[in-house]
Structure 1
Amino acid sequence: MPRRHDSWDSNVSDRTLGHKTRARMCPLYVAGLIGPGDRKSVQPMAARASGVGYDQLHHFVAAGVWDSAPLEAALLKEADRLVGDDAGFLVIDDTALPKKGRHSIGVAPQYASSLGKTANCQSLVSLTLASREVPVMVGLRLFLPENWTNDPERMARAGVPKDRQTALTKPEIAIEEIDRVIASGARFGCVLADSGYGSSGPFRQALSERGLLWAVGLSRRQNVYPADVALIFPIAKTGKPRKYHIPDQPPVSAEALLAEGKWQRVSWRRGTKGRLTCLFTARRVRVADGHKHRMINNRMQCMPGDEVWLVGERRSTGEQKYYVSNLPADATIKTLAATIKARRVCEQAHQQLKEELGLDHFEGRSWTGLHRHALMTMIAYAFLQSRRLKAAGRKKKNLRTATTTKHAGHQASDPRPLRTTSTPTMSSL
């Protein structure tokens, strides 16, 4: 992975892996992922490589005794160098790895967003650091469904660490990973996520508690209050007086509140086929995700939370999406739209990690092997992104000297294949 002047300190692998043989395996594994060949599992990579056997490569990724944390820290440092920006984004999503059988760690019938259906697969929570439409993946953590977390023996056979043998939701995993990114010092300005995460009140509240800006998807059924909702003490004709305030108006669904909104066409950036536009509307609201109170009619109702933006998007297909964000109250609808749509950059990263770097090709069954393979694919991806950014910088410089620089920077965000003519060596990893 390049560092300054397109080189990653040649001693990084020695320092982080603590053994010369393991330090040699790391760049060989990454080179196998980047190199030619359609299949990026251990056996075909070893067959294509020179000077390394299948047993050595398999032992390195699946059974070797080494700590991945220093390499994860080095990846975060490099990602920050490439795309870290106080105006950038940290995108939370998940990606599915289809699998047959039931023995591979975490595999179960579960919804796979990339397939648009429930399928037998592994599901990983992903974190992508991005700016200027350039993504660098920095985190992939496996989600364990209930049929795994309820079976300690099964987890032990798959090598799940003791501290990971607990049931965690995807939003909870995401918060753990966000804390790791924050601790690394990597720079970003706003957290983005789809409704699978954004519909979780505890997830949004955890982001706010950390002082983070966020813009996340929301279920159309989520109850919200208008921003001007007031809390009152109703006066009951009989019985004891109420101890707590209640809202002076009932909540309604996000969909219902925005149904009569003023929709306007917004363009947020230029794409490869012209300006990207869609219909948007926005309104200040308070999401009904506060503590619960029993109302006069004996029904439980969530109290209003903090004031935020509720945003609706109406696509040309007729599909409508809803989002909520704690961006400042004076944010324009164009700013809201551009922030929300920046999340799509992670889909490009998921696609390229799978199609070009073999993220979903790992054939082992263990927790350790899967996470190490995922880490190697992220290192390979960051290396290739650094090469593309450097090439884009050269092109931009040449265009400056020749003519206008109007569109010189578009090369960096072009989702073309990530192939490079050179393979990483110890001096570049």
Structure 2
Amino acid sequence: MNRRSWMAGASVEATLELWASSLREVKARMRPLFTQERVAASAGQFLDGLLGEERRKTGWMRAEAAGDPGPWRQQAILGRGCWDADSLRDIVRDYALETLADPDVVLVLDETGFLKQGKASCGVGRQYTGSAGKITNCQIGVFASYVSRHGHAFIDRALYLPKAWTDDRDRLLAAHVPESVHFATKPALALTMIERAVASNVPFSWVAADSVYGVGDIEMALKRAAKGYVLGVNANHSFRSWGKPLAVAGTAKDIAEALHENAWRRLSAGEGTKGARLHDWAYLDLADLDADDFNAAFAGVWTRGLLIRRNIADGDLAFFSTWCPVGTPLEKLVTVEGHRWAIEDSFETAKNEFGLDHNETRSWHGWHRHVSLVMLAFAMMAIIRNRANTRPSDPPKTMRSARGKTAN
């Protein structure tokens, strides 16, 4: 999806006005991060470069767009400048929520790779990335995307550091990794994002993720926070029912292969570029639990289940552990799982349009600053798209409040 298609719902004149007002607004929001006016101006020019038409968002190209004689000011924003990338992350989150917030939101967790040469870039190493479909030299970033009926945007991110990094103090010092940072698995990074979202009162009801994140502490944290989930699991993951008329026990694969054909239903997980994304689905209720059974601070009965997806063309199976309020229909679980496409689309768009993988710095701070600025650019476009498709007679509250604001 390119940025022009994002804004197809409004006239050229309205789109230009939305673009200008939105750009002023986001620059004003991040202005307090910088103690000096010239640094804030350079950060604004950095954002302009990310939003520009250049395919490569390198320091030289951003500098040329900004009218600078060289890339030094642009590079300083990511390196020598003194500002907090985590504060910008929080600004992006709050900015996105003002327009995209909805109680039925799915928080989608996933990772993407950043191909790199050499050994100096923070977190780089030979590791598997789905972006390349193989083990290669890369960095891995874990992201949380906020997916609602109003649109979707990244609201959190973390750079994964392999043990080869966290066990090498000299390497950490050279990349300016804070002393407080220690080894954390990708699920642990994702769990921190979930906990941060809950602590910040981010409205969401569901979490969806692939099998990297599908079992363990994430499940328990979501149960205690009254959040439903559809989390991928491997074919050999064991399931067992209790208190149900149909006894189920075994691996996900064995359970699926034993199902009668009438257990499957053909449903759409959402609209894709080629129309409805149809698969065959089966769902098994495994157990009903009262909130008191898992020490929750709320009341209600919830259901643990197994959701199975079968490819229509080749019969390939995928498996998901589910948790939802009792009585949740299969169609809802399928829709939640289908929301995972949004983060894949977001990675592609952020890389192709906003230079997510064009970071030239090697430091911990450089990676988080670059990625956070790209997240801001992405959120701005998501909000422009939402506003462009909103009826002129009923402008969103955030648009009304943004009028009259000026950028620094």
The answer to whether the superposition gives a TM-score over 0.5 is yes
Equivalent in the alignment of 1:328: 325
- Equivalent position of 1:342 in the other structure: 339
218, 226, 239: which one pairs with 2:233? 218
Distance (Å, rounded) in 1 between the aligned partners of 2:349 and 2:393: 24
Question: Of residues 104, 111, 119 in structure 2, which corresponds to 1:87?
Answer: 104
2:158 paired residue among 121, 126, 141:
141
Q: The residue matched to 1:330 in structure 2 has which SS?
A: coil
255-264 vs 344-353, greater mean Cα deviation: 255-264
**3-state SS, counterpart of residue 91 of structure 1:** strand
Which consecutive residues of structure 1, in runs of 5 or more, have no partner in the other structure? 231-248, 288-305, 398-425
Report the secondary structure of 1:258's partner residue: helix
Give the partner amino acid of 2:310: R
Shift of 1:167: 1.0
Contact 1:2–1:8 (CA under 8 A) maintained in structure 2: no
Kept after mapping to 2: 8 A contact 1:309/1:329: no
SS of the residue aligned with 1:361? coil
> 1:133 deviation in Å?
7.0
Residues 1:191 and 2:207 are matched in the alignment: yes
Identity in percent = 27
Residue 156 of structure 1: SS of its match in structure 2? helix
Q: What is the rounded CA distance, in whole Å, between the counterparts of 1:31 and 1:57 in structure 2?
A: 11
Partner letter of residue 54 of structure 2? G
The verdict on how the C-alpha distance between 1:190 and 1:154 changes in structure 2, with shifts beyond 3 A counting, is same
Offset, 1:171: 0.8
**Deviation per residue, 1:244-274 (Å, 9 max, x gap):** xxxxx99510111222221111234444543
Deviation at 1:140, TM superposition (A): 1.9
1:292-338 CA-partner distances (Å, limit 9, x unpaired)? xxxxxxxxxxxxxx951100000123211000111123111111111
Report the TM-score, using the length of structure 1 for normalisation.
0.78
- Structure showing greater Rg: 1
- State the distance in 2 between where 1:396 and 1:389 align: 14
| Distance in 1 (alpha carbons) for counterparts of 2:153 and 2:286 | 33
Which residues of 2 match residues 292-303 of structure 1 at below 5 A?
none
Greater shift, 185-194 or 118-127, is seen at 185-194
Pairwise CA distance, 1:152: 1.0
Mean CA deviation greater in 118-127 or 183-192: 183-192
Equivalent residues in 2 for 1:235-384, closer than 5 Å: 251-261=249-259, 262-285=263-286, 308-316=304-312, 317-384=314-381
The runs of at least 4 consecutive aligned structure 1 residues that moved more than 4 Å come to 1-7, 394-397
Measured in 1, the distance between the counterparts of 2:106 and 2:219 equals: 16
Q: Secondary structure at the match of 1:63?
A: coil
The offset of 1:173, in angstroms, is 0.7
User: Where does residue 167 of structure 1 map in the other structure?
Assistant: 183
Task: Mark the CA change 1:11 to 1:307 in structure 2 (over 3 Å): closer, same or farther.
Answer: closer
Structure 1 residue 52: Cα displacement: 7.0
1:126 and 2:143 equivalent?
A: yes
1:179 maps to 2:192? no
How much has 1:227 moved relative to structure 2? Answer: 2.9
CA distance in 1, matches of 2:303, 2:201: 29
Question: 2:171 aligns to what?
Answer: 154
Question: What residue in structure 2 maps to residue 208 of structure 1?
Answer: 223
- Alpha-carbon contact 1:85-1:189 (below 8 Å) kept: no
8 Å Cα contact 1:133/1:345 also seen in 2: no
Question: Do the aligned partners of 2:303 and 2:325 also contact (CA within 8 Å) in 1?
Answer: no
In structure 1, give the amino acid aligned to 2:146.
L
If the length of structure 2 is used for normalisation, what is the TM-score? 0.82
C-alpha deviation, 1:129, in angstroms: 0.6
Q: State the Cα distance separating 1:210 from its structure 2 match.
A: 2.7
Q: Which amino acid aligns with 1:310?
A: L
- Aligned residues of 2:85 and 2:365 also touching (Cα < 8 A): no
What letter matches 2:382 in structure 1? Q
